[in-house]
Chain A
Amino acid sequence: MFLRGVFDDTVVLSYFVLTGVAMLVVLVQIARRFGRPA
């Protein structure tokens, strides 16, 4: 939805970077909270 109609490379790449980093942070937090120690 956010990227629909957006053709600026900078905006699209910024979106990729921000959402990618956010996903990484959330996934690492989930892995720490619910994972077991190795």
Chain B
Amino acid sequence: MKLYTASSEETLRARKLLTDWAGDGILTKAQYERLEQETISELRTTNIFLRLVLFLFTLISVGGAVALFFVVSRPSEQTSGVLFLIFAALCYAAAELAASQARLYRYGIEEALAVCSVGFLCAGMQALFFSGSIFSSKPDAAEFLVPATGAVFSL
């Protein structure tokens, strides 16, 4: 399942090639401007620096908001697991909305929301299915299953 159409991604690739060719001097300025008009994409992208900063601040905001919720409500461990799963679903929905409605493409924000979704999913499963903390004095080997699986699949 892909949110972006093949033509949108093809247009972005073509536009990147145009920029490269213009930089290499293969295209004249007039040719570049004409071809640029023919490869306008509806997707929003940004440069790598802004992408990294947006990614970082989205992580900080989402993490802070979830931590604030837990500090204020102080739920039990089982309830925390359910809440983490709900936050995972919310983050995933927000990432989908950012990509499909706001047309963000490698913008940092939707990527950070997807990362938060996976992190909350792992935390929720850990809290729900393994009652003891992995930081307890005698951790069970099975308690490392969810973090290890999450780490392997994120590679």
Contacts and interface: CB of A to CB of B under 8 A. Distances in A.
A and B are interacting partners: yes
Interface of A: 9-10, 13-14, 16-17, 20-21, 23-24, 27-28, 30-31, 35, 37-38
Interface residues of B, number: 25
A35 B104 CA distance: 13
Given A23-B57, A24-B58, A27-B57, A38 B44 contact: yes
Given A10-B68, A17-B68, A31-B50, A38 B15 contact: yes
Secondary structure dominating the interface of A: helix
B145 interface: no
Nearest to B63: A16
A16 B54 contact: no
Contact of B54 (A9, A13, A27, A38): A27
A38 B12 contact: yes
B60 to A, nearest CB: 4
B65 interface: yes
B53 interface: yes
